[in-house]
Structure 1
Amino acid sequence: MSVATVRLRPGGWFSPGVRKSNKWTGGKNAASVPKRTAKPSAKPSTKPTRNKVARKPLRISALLAALVLFFLRFFGWTLGLLLVATLLGSISLGLVYGYRALTTSTHFAVSNVEIVGNRQLSTPEVLNLSGVAVGMNILEVSLGEVSRKLQHNPWIESATVRRVLPDGVAIDIVEREPFFWVQQGGSLYYADRNGGPIAALELGRFVSLPVLILEDGVEPNWRLMEEWVRAMERLEFPFGFSEVAWLKVEDANILRIHLEDRGMVVHLDLSDWRGHRAIMNQVWEDLRSRGELNNIERLTVMSGKAWVQSKQS
């Protein structure tokens, strides 16, 4: 028996071509399997798995399929199909009767309708437009249909309708706000801040507003017009909006404003209405302090300057 030359290597004793273990094996030259370092286990993911969510409908469908197969195998195909059809029909019939019971129950009869946001339209008018009546079943009220009916009225810009269980309906409307009168086809109409007509003047719904006159072929700068109207509402000018009898748009940015009670015409350039507002307020206060305000026939503020013209005696 010959002894093979051995060499020492890291990790144990090795003979030529054969890997030896450096562990005593009881006299047997058993080849050792190199140990593998265990990889650190991955941290459990915090993301929800989709399988758990998807299993629920699968289990329900599998249960229904198993139930159908049970009926078919136990009772036979003909009787099984008959029982399945009877079961499904009973469920459908129960749902129908349940829905009818809810929609005919006096517990869900409308007894209160809350309406907010109406200023031009009265509460009975809004209620009549909505089609909602006391005693209707609240579950049969179509919220979308009620909203569409309300928005057909020219005064209503938007309408939100919701149920207030068990017996209430809430209607929240946003009306179009009139700022002017405009003339179209020989009739006067209420118009919004952009000059858009809303509805014709009515005796039962009369609001005194200045008449807006547009020169032929002149398109006003509606953005500046709206800013000016808002400033007038905030009383940032020396005269109020209620004092204006009419105003005429002579150019995109030029307004001629007639103050009927004062017998005065004001020309205002809107291109720099904030700067011109400061000039007008200063001139107005100066004329008032000197007692000359009532003698002014024309006040012009444009291009950063102001001119006044006295009334002829």
Structure 2
Amino acid sequence: MYLGKSRLGHWDRNDYRGTFFDSRTSLGEKLRHRFWIGTLLLMIAVGISMFLLIGYLAALSTPFFKLEQVEIKGNQKVSQTELLQKGGLTQSVNLLSLNLKEVKAKMESLPWVKEVRLRRELPNRLQVTVIEHQPFLLTTVGEHLYFLDREGVLFKKLDLKGDTSLPLLTGLGPKDGIIEGRLRPQLLAEVKTLLDLLSRGKDPFYPHKLSEIHYDPDCGYTLYTIDRGIRISLGKEDFPIKVKRLEKIWAALETRPDITALKGISLQYGRKIIVHGLHPGTAAKKTG
């Protein structure tokens, strides 16, 4: 077989075959070399993993990481004892073995607790930050009263020792009121807007003057005061304007000697304000 010429002269068949077999042998050696390197690296990785595992298991049993201090902050309605017991936090617990996700879920099952944030501080300290529900209304579900927070969450049934100074939201039907433990979003937005307006001014109505906020899907909102149960009808819209008018007429009425005869104020008739229970001369007023 003639292979042609090169600058070094003729190539013969033996030289070609030798070069071919040398290349194949070199490739096999490279593959074996890579195999042994890969095996060695794998063994090193397994060894390191085993070392870390043994070290971790040893750390779980050492008293060095034993839980000794739990710092709880942010709680006002729920006690530290309740949180510790609910979370299963005892001094026999190893901080590394503590399942924070499980502890968080247990603590958040307490009615007043909205959210819990946990952080390990090695070697033996756990920090607990509690965010509680902030009630702004009471409402009825069946025969019971419940606290309602500003997100519309129905979070706790009122017990005998509960705070009853908050206004009561009534008139909620099964379809337009509480749905799956929450106040309907549109209704929540209306109530929050109304209460925010009523909480302003020099002598705000909310929360200390109101005993009840009654909702009617057709007539809108009616307020009842704590003092003498005076009815204040607002209707369904234009709350900013109506609340300003209410503030003006209320300030004027409080100066009257016959204020104790006041039964109600109606503001749902446009610019016309109707005062109920006083002398006929003050029964109807117009305001800008």
Query: Do the structures match in fold with TM over 0.5?
Result: yes
> Which position in structure 2 is the counterpart of 1:118?
75
* CA distance 1:311–1:299, shift in 2 (3 Å): same
> Which position in structure 2 is the counterpart of 1:280?
246
1:131 partner amino acid? G
* CA distance 1:69–1:310, shift in 2 (3 Å): closer
User: 1:309 deviation in Å?
Assistant: 1.2
> Which position in structure 2 is the counterpart of 1:271?
237
User: 1:210 deviation in Å?
Assistant: 2.3
Higher Rg: 1
> Which position in structure 2 is the counterpart of 1:77?
none
Is 216-225 or 147-156 further displaced after alignment?
Answer: 216-225
Query: Superposition pairs for residues 164-243 of structure 1, below 5 Å?
Result: 164-193=121-150, 196-214=153-171, 216=173, 221-234=187-200, 238-243=204-209
Is 1:137 the counterpart of 2:97? The answer is no
Query: Superposition pairs for residues 42-57 of structure 1, below 5 Å?
Result: none
In 1: Cα distance, 2:125 partner to 2:75 partner: 18
| Uncovered stretches (5+) of structure 2, i.e. residues with no partner | 1-32, 178-185, 280-288
Kept in 2, the 8 Å contact 1:180–1:195? The answer is no
Match of 2:37 among 60, 66, 78: 66
Q: Which has the higher contact order (CA 8 A, sep 6+)?
A: 2
CA displacement, residues 127-164 of structure 1 (integer Å, 9 cap, x when unaligned)? 22222223422111122222222233343222221112
Is 1:309 the counterpart of 2:276? The answer is yes
Is 1:94 the counterpart of 2:51? The answer is yes
SS at match of 1:208: coil
**What is the Cα-based RMSD across aligned positions, in Å?**
3.3
In 1: Cα distance, 2:189 partner to 2:101 partner: 33
TM-score (norm 1): 0.64
Query: Superposition pairs for residues 97-108 of structure 1, below 5 Å?
Result: 97-108=54-65
User: 1:96 deviation in Å?
Assistant: 3.1
SS at match of 2:84: helix
TM-score (norm 2): 0.69
User: 1:249 deviation in Å?
Assistant: 0.5
1:287 partner amino acid? L
* CA distance 1:292–1:168, shift in 2 (3 Å): farther
1:133 partner amino acid? T
In 1: Cα distance, 2:111 partner to 2:202 partner: 31
User: 1:235 deviation in Å?
Assistant: 5.5
In 1: Cα distance, 2:231 partner to 2:40 partner: 92
CA displacement, residues 42-82 of structure 1 (integer Å, 9 cap, x when unaligned)? xxxxxxxxxxxxxxxxxxxx999538579xxxxxxxxxxxx
CA displacement, residues 66-103 of structure 1 (integer Å, 9 cap, x when unaligned)? 38579xxxxxxxxxxxxx97x77764553233112322
* CA distance 1:186–1:221, shift in 2 (3 Å): closer
Kept in 1, the 8 Å contact 2:198–2:204? The answer is no
SS at match of 1:271: coil
SS at match of 1:261: coil
Aligned length, in residue pairs = 237
Kept in 2, the 8 Å contact 1:190–1:198? The answer is yes
User: 1:248 deviation in Å?
Assistant: 1.0
SS at match of 1:153: coil
In 1: Cα distance, 2:187 partner to 2:219 partner: 6
